[in-house]
C-alpha cells in the first residue's frame, strides 16, 4: 500500500485504509472517501500540491498532507 499523494496522474486506485490517527480522517470520510472506493488521480499542481482526484463521480482537490493519510492500491 502507498499514500494517495504518491500515485501518478491518470492512475486508478482503490482505497484500502484511511490512517486511524489522522487529524483529517473524519473530513476525508465525509467527502465520500471510504474503504473500497475507487479513485482516479486527475492532476497535480506543478509542485505536487494540491492533488485533483475523481471519486464517486465528482472531482475533489486534496492537499498533499491529507492525501498521504489515504492508503491505496493500484487497480
User: Domain containing 45: what range?
Assistant: 2-74
pLDDT tens across 16-32, in order? 999 998 899 999 999 99
pLDDT tens across 27-71, in order? 999 999 999 999 999 999 988 889 999 999 999 999 999 999 999
User: pTM value?
Assistant: 0.90
CA distances (Å), origin 20, targets 28, 45, 47, 70, 71: 12, 27, 27, 10, 11
Q: For the chain, what is the domain count?
A: 1
CATH of the domain at 43: 2.30.30.90
Amino acid at each position: 500500500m502507498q499514500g494517495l499523494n504518491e500515485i501518478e496522474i491518470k492512475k486508478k486506485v482503490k482505497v484500502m485504509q484511511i490512517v486511524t490517527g489522522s487529524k483529517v480522517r473524519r473530513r476525508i470520510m465525509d467527502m465520500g472517501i471510504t474503504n473500497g472506493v475507487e479513485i482516479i488521480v486527475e492532476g497535480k499542481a506543478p509542485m505536487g500540491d494540491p492533488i485533483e482526484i475523481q471519486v464517486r463521480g465528482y472531482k475533489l482537490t486534496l492537499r498533499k498532507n491529507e492525501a498521504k493519510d489515504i492508503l491505496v492500491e493500484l487497480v
